[in-house]
Chains A and B, each alone.
Chain A
Amino acid sequence: MANVHEFDVVVVGAGGSGLMAGLYASRGAKTAVISKLYPTRSHTGAAQGGISAAFGNLEEDKPEWHTYDTVKGSDYLGDQDAIEFMCNEAIDAVLELEHMGLPFDRTPEGRILQRNFGGHTNNETGKPVRRACHAADRTGHMILQTLYQQCLKNKVNFFDEYQVLDLLLVNGKAAGVVAVELATGELHTFHAKAVIFATGGHGRIFEVTSNAYAYTGDGAAILLRRGLPLEDMEFFQFHPTGIYKLGILITEGVRGEGGVLINGKGERFMPKYASHVKDLASRDVVSRAIYTEIREGRGVNGQNYVYLDSRPESIIKYAAEDGRTNPDGSPYTITAEELLKKLPDIVDFNRVYLGIDPMTQMMPIQPTAHYTMGGIPTNKFGEVVIDDKNTAFPGLYAAGECACVSVHGANRLGTNSLLDLVVFGKHAGLRAAEYAKQADFQKLPDDPTAEARAQFDGLRNGSGKENVFDISREMKKVMFEDVGIYRNEKGMKAAIEKIAEWKERFKHVHIADTGRVFNTELLNAWELGNMLEVADVIAECALNRKESRGGHSREDFQKRDDVNWLKHTLAWKKNGKTEIGYKPVTITKYQPKERVY
């Protein structure tokens, strides 16, 4: 067979978790990292504000507080053993990044500088705690660059701009993946003992999103097609502060540094919704508050946006109102110059896309689709688990945003995604290499690329009436409106019907490009197919969950219902239909209670 490669471990995706997995797996096994992008283009690079670890470099902090905050942030849907594991590993994980050369900002003593972020608190006082370690407002960029650089140093094998299309499963074990080399259009089979999915999220199913074009749910869709389940897909995070209409992320770090949200009447509104931590409540709470203000007519100029105010004089005024102090007890102040150093990219985005200066003008913002809490079910070692008893699937691993451990439950705290990808990317890499040492290669199917070819041929040979761009645009709009921040039965049922229609239309898309070299039209069509699969599962799971919890807000079931719904959703695709099952939540130390910020 042409184009067959053999590796012990194959990693799919080269963002933070894929690179971390590749780095660790390659120390113990022959490893390849395959990505549809050049690794440094991955979406980890768009993360801004920070990565949390309870160093306590500026004030008292401890991993137990980080653990509790994460459990509470998850609205008690996160698995507490996994959360505790992650928060305990956080300090060593961030130190490891520093030892790899990551240029964190520094305290006067030369230690890693930390800032406030939503939902991270001193558990005794209930006040925000400085836990987010950062490199200006490009922390994700620095993590991505540093991990890629370390992979180069350690001679990790990369296959850049190869799109993985299919996962090969033989005898109930992972056997490899099939990918198309974008530059030539040729299919390649990667025969492997272990496969790690690190394929990121799927925010591109929504109209307004902070996510990259690449975020089309490829990994989740590939696993669905191979009969494996996804977990908690109804939980998607809408970040409170995206640039109006464009959705470009404005880091929570702006509020961490003292910025506040202001409605169309010029009022600071977060104290009404979260009297203790106000603008630093967790993201689901803040996004709903913004929507409520807009719905009740207090958007700016009657439009669907509010302001984020980061003008130094405003920050100082509101900090004084809140009694906010520096670590030495003096009143909190900030200058435009200091702010510019802490948030240079935010200033740049505002200048470029809005033509405004956030030092003297307020930023128009609206919630933006941001993060996939659900995904491929795994345990805390990155092993993919496929049922309610957490049975591991031999040789298959997942980490990062595509995975659901679950450490984020129903709502992720800011900074915990970067932590997640470093911690679980590492463990997935270690476990996969360990597994590969004692496992044998499974025999490849006679025609390993058959399924991938069939998918591409189906697209190429469609009857050609439908337009990928149009279907995609309709999907994004409906998903954002009806399966977005607020959801109800009527809207979701309508969305599910429409998804079925789009799936039908999708069978008849027109592909004008008949070439092989960088056929991005064919690739984009295939990605749309993935988005439709994922959107379908999200809408079905969201309709099924009759309660409100974290990022899942039902207008028709407004309360959290622990009696009936303190459980994970598992969803399979069988004969084109979504089948739903459940899995218990692991609760160790923290019994669910009302969530107040």
Chain B
Amino acid sequence: MQVTLKVFRYNPDVDKKWHYETYNLDIEETERILDLLELVKGHYDGSLSFRRSCAHGVCGSDAMRINGRNMLACKTLVRDVGDKIAVEPLLGLKVIKDLIVDMEPFFDNYKKVLPYFINDSPLPADGKERLQSPGERARFDDTTKCILCAACTTSCPSFWGSDDYLGPAALVAAHRFIFDSRDEAASERLRIISETSGVARCHTVYNCTMACPRDIQITRAIGELKMATLTGKVD
């Protein structure tokens, strides 16, 4: 089928200002947006730059705006978006080149919530695993799926509006550990996310939930965090 692909372009080595390029392509409707970008790079303009790796929605490299919505280019097919396709970099992070944005502020926020398992108690006497029931394990299953693609955080108006908001992805990471029955640093993390840069900045817009390519119920997870910060209880 024939599609028009409009791509945001900016090369700091040559361009003073960003612009759009449009490419007319003959492709299959089952092709991924990533395939289209590869085709343009291969045959129209090799300088087109974007990040990608796994090409099937698990590494989180190629989150971008496709027809205005945050999606993974490798997990979005042409038939999902139609024959007029506009591709732009994520909002709220500085554009470095074409579809590549500066991810450092995103990862800096992630690192603020102590995104690692903390349990300083002695290991079980038998040296084996810390026991966890299937129910306890299920409690935080949803938030273990995060691939740190930034689709959620960069869809959030609160993130756009304030430099210091941790953003949905960092809160998802906090949730993953706070609700893990084996972890011992919930109170420390709750203190961090109770600050003005934390959960209070979430206004339940649900953009994050809709943007998540892993179908994580992010707004719900943030809601659970809000409740925990208010009650001091994690259950």
- With A45-B147, A152-B115, A521-B41: A212-B132 Cβ-Cβ less than 8 Å: no
Whether A488 is near chain B, meaning CB under 8 Å from some CB there, is: no
Instruction: Kindly provide the distance from the CB of B120 to the nearest chain A CB, expressed in whole angstroms.
Output: 11
Smallest CB gap from B30: residue in A: A353
Scoring B56, B132, B177 by chain A CB atoms within 10 A of each residue's CB, the highest score goes to B56
B103 at the interface (CB under 8 A from A): yes
Instruction: Assess whether A521 is in contact with B144, with CB atoms less than 8 Å apart.
Output: no
Interface string of A107-141 (1 = CB under 8 A from B): 11111100000000000000000000001101001
**Is B132's CB under 8 angstroms from A110's CB?**
yes
Chain B residues whose CB sits within 8 angstroms of the CB of A37 once the complex forms: 53, 59, 61
Stretch in B6-14, B152-160, B190-198 touching the partner: B6-14
A149 touches B115 (CB 8 A): yes
Residue of A nearest to B145 (CB): A138
* B60, CB-defined interface residue at 8 Å: yes
**Which of B38, B77, B107, B180 has a CB less than 8 Å from the CB of A38?**
B107
Partner of A101, one of B30, B47, B128, B182: B182
Q: Select A515's contact among B14, B60, B130, beta carbons within 8 Å.
A: B14
Residue of B nearest to A210 (CB): B56
B111 at the binding interface (Cβ < 8 Å): yes
Q: Shortest Cβ distance from A363 into chain B, in angstroms?
A: 14
A226 within 8 A of B: no
Asked if A517 contacts B131 (CB within 8 A), the reply is no
Interface set, chain B 86-138, CB cutoff 8 A to A? 96-98, 100, 103, 107, 111, 115-119, 123, 127-134, 136-137
Chain B residues closer than 8 Å to A494, beta-carbon distance: none
**A interface, how many residues as a size bin?**
35 or more
B residues 43-93 near A (Cβ < 8 Å) are: 43, 45-47, 49-61, 75, 77
Tell whether A361 is near chain B: CB-to-CB under 8 Å.
Answer: no
Chain A nearest CB: distance from B20 CB in Å?
18
**Residue pair A103, B180 in contact (C-beta under 8 Å):** yes
| Known pairs A469-B43, A515-B47; A98 contacts B130 (CB<8 A) | yes
Known contacts A37-B53, A468-B46, A514-B13; decide if A101 and B132 are in contact (CB<8 Å): no
Does chain B have a CB within 8 A of A505? Answer: no
A225 CB–B CB distance under 8 Å: no
| Distance A353 CA – B34 CA, assembled complex (angstroms) | 13
Distance between Cα atoms of A45 and B61 in the complex (Å):
12
With a cutoff of 8 Å between Cβ atoms, the chain B residues found around residue A149 in the complex are 115-117
Q: Are B129 and A112 in contact (CB under 8 A)?
A: yes
Chain B interface: which of A68-76, A344-352, A370-378, A386-394? A344-352
Q: Does A85 interact with chain B (Cβ within 8 Å)? A: no
Are A40 and B119 neighbours in the complex by a CB distance under 8 Å? no
> Given the complex of chains A and B, what is the CA–CA distance between A124 and B154 in angstroms?
55
- Is residue B232 contacting chain A, with contact meaning CB distance below 8 A? no
Q: How far is the CA of A183 from the CA of B77 in the complex (A)?
A: 29
**CB-CB < 8 A to B96: which residues of A?**
183, 517-518
B60 to chain A, nearest CB (A): 6
Contact in complex: A45, B59 (CB < 8 Å): yes
A41 in contact with B131 (CB, 8 Å): no
Task: List the A side residues contacting B97 at CB < 8 Å.
Answer: 515, 517-518
A243 and chain B: residue at smallest CB distance: B56
- Residues of B within 8 Å of A442, CB to CB, are none
Render A450-482 as a binary contact track against B, CB cut-off 8 A, 1 for contact.
000000000000000001111000000000000
Is A213 part of the contact surface with B, judged by Cβ < 8 Å? yes
CB of A490 within 8 Å of the partner chain: no
On whether the beta carbons of B133 and A110 are closer than 8 Å, the reply is yes
Cross-chain contact B58 with A105 (CB below 8 angstroms): no
B-chain residues with CB within 8 Å of residue A470 when the two chains form the complex: 42
Instruction: Tell me the complex Cα distance, A104–B141, Å.
Output: 10
Compute how far the CA of A524 lies from the CA of B96 in the bound complex, rounded to whole angstroms.
19
Pick the contact of B147 from A106, A141, A468, A512 — CB < 8 Å? Answer: A141
Of chain A, the residue at the smallest CB distance from B129 is: A98
Asked if B148 lies at the interface with its beta carbon under 8 angstroms from chain A, I say: yes
B164 adjacent to chain A (CB < 8 Å) = no
Output the least CB separation between A58 and chain B (Å). Answer: 14
A513 CB within 8 Å of chain B: yes
A508 interfacial by beta-carbon distance below 8 Å:
no
- B224: chain A residues at CB < 8 Å are none
Q: Is B140 an interface residue (CB 8 A)?
A: yes
- B103 near A38 with CB under 8 A, answer yes
Contact residues in A for B130 (Cβ distance below 8 Å): 98-99
Interface residue A100 (Cβ < 8 Å from any Cβ of B): yes
* Chain B nearest Cβ from A472, distance in angstroms: 8
Residues of A close to B141: CB separation below 8 A: 103, 136
Is there an interface contact between A41 and B116, defined as CB atoms closer than 8 Å?
Answer: no
Which residues of chain A are within 8 angstroms of B123 by Cβ–Cβ distance? 99
Q: Taking the nearest CB of chain A, how far is it from the CB of B82, in angstroms? A: 16
Question: How many Å from the CB of B221 to the closest CB on chain A?
Answer: 15
CA distance A214 to B133 in the complex (A): 38
The reply to whether B147 and A40 contact each other, CB–CB distance below 8 Å, is yes
Given A467-B43, A469-B42, A512-B47, residue A212 in contact with residue B115 (CB < 8 A): no
Q: Does A237 contact B (CB under 8 A)?
A: no
> Given A101-B117, A248-B56, is A111 in contact with B43 using a C-beta cutoff of 8 Å?
no
Cross-chain contact B54 with A43 (CB below 8 angstroms): yes
Please name all residues of chain B whose beta carbon is closer than 8 Å to the beta carbon of A145 when the two chains form the complex: 144, 146
Q: How far apart sit A100 and B130, CA to CA, in the bound complex (Å)?
A: 10
Interface residues of A in 134-179 (CB under 8 A from B): 135-136, 138, 141-142, 145-146, 149-150, 152-153
Instruction: Tell me the bound Cα distance from A520 to B115 in angstroms.
Output: 31
Closest-CB distance, A143 to chain B (whole angstroms): 12
Which residues of chain B from 149 to 197 have any CB-CB distance to chain A below 8 Å in the complex?
177, 180, 182-183
Q: Taking the complex as formed, is B215 at the interface, i.e. its CB lies under 8 A from any CB of chain A?
A: yes
Q: What is the distance, in angstroms, from A389's C-beta to the closest C-beta of chain B?
A: 38
The complex places the Cα of A527 from the Cα of B153 at a distance, in Å, of 32
Does B133 lie within 8 Å of A516, measured CB to CB?
no
Q: Which residues of B contact A46 (CB under 8 A)?
A: 54, 56, 58-59
> Chain A 326-361 against B: per-residue CB contact (8 Å), 1 yes, 0 no?
000000000000000000010011001100000000
State which residues 41-83 of A face B: CB under 8 Å: 41-43, 45-46
With a CB–CB cut-off of 8 A, which chain B residues contact A141? 58, 145, 147
Select from chain A the residue with minimum beta-carbon distance to B72.
A352
Min C-beta distance of B210 to chain A, whole Å: 16
A4 within 8 A of B: no
Q: List 16 A-B contacts (CB under 8 A).
A: A37-B59, A38-B103, A40-B60, A40-B148, A42-B59, A45-B147, A101-B183, A135-B144, A145-B144, A145-B146, A153-B116, A348-B215, A469-B41, A515-B47, A517-B11, A519-B47
Q: Which residues of A contact B (CB under 8 A)?
A: 37-38, 40-43, 45-46, 95, 98-101, 103-112, 135-136, 138, 141-142, 145-146, 149-150, 152-153, 183, 212-214, 246, 248-249, 345, 348-349, 352-353, 467-470, 510-521, 524
The 6 A-B residue pairs with the shortest CB-CB distance, nearest first, are A101-B117, A469-B42, A515-B13, A110-B131, A513-B47, A149-B116
Known: A99-B130, A100-B117. 11 other contacts (CB 8 A): A46-B59, A98-B129, A101-B116, A103-B137, A212-B53, A212-B54, A212-B59, A353-B30, A513-B46, A520-B49, A521-B47
